Amino acid sequence: MGQSVSWLSGLLWAKKEIRILILGLDNAGKTTLLYRLKIGEVVTTIPTIGFNVESVTYKNLNFNVWDLGGQTSIRPYWRCYYANTAAVIFVVDSTDIERLQTAAEELAAMLNEEELKDAALLVFANKQDQPGAKGAGEISEALRLGELRDRNWSIMACSAVDGSGVNEANRATRLMALPVTENCTLLYNQHRDCNMAWHDTPTISAVIY
């Protein structure tokens, strides 16, 4: 009996690994965001050919964060990384108005993949420090996020360069990626403390910052 309880306790409290993908078009700021989330600083980056991967530990959770290149020739290979993904961070250059339609099409195609049917979606409207950047509401409309069903999603405005909105983005990433079996009370309380506005229906959960 004692051994059984000990084994079960160890299973529940063992460090869990959670896989997160950072996707988006080229020049959206994905790699800059990755290292802002990881070390809290801006690093010099070059266009990602392939991927970058970093581990971020939070309590007993280990987040493996994969940043995939966004060039046209690389996007077809995104699907090679979809398996076992808990959450997708989709980064949008909020100043690149001409390619918002392309971003919307890539996002829709990605979300139709069977391997991502249970993955949470976080859209980061990046580059808010630059003139002409569209807000989270406008980016949400352009990506048609309001049409999503059976998907937990969130969108927030941020700047990976000056750090605005990144702390909130980091917190939301951890919370959205938590397995369903994690502490739901913690999830509720942290959202309440952040003044996050949840809009719930039986088929959708969304947060707009």
Give the residue numbers annotated as catalytic, written as ranges: 71
Output the six-digit token pair for 88.
């997708």
User: Which of helix, strand or coil describes residue 41?
Assistant: coil
Tally of CA atoms within 13 A in the half-sphere of 88 that contains its CB: 27
* DSSP letter (8 states) at residue 129: T
Measuring CA to CA, how many Å separate 74 from each of 3, 50, 71, 119?
Answer: 50, 8, 5, 21
Take residue 161 and report the two structure tokens written for it. 């360069």
Residue 164 CB burial class (10 angstroms; 0-12, 13-18, ≥19): middle
Q: Are 74 and 68 in contact (CB under 8 A)?
A: yes
CB contact set of 42 (below 8 Å; sequence gap of 6+) = 32, 35, 36, 160, 161
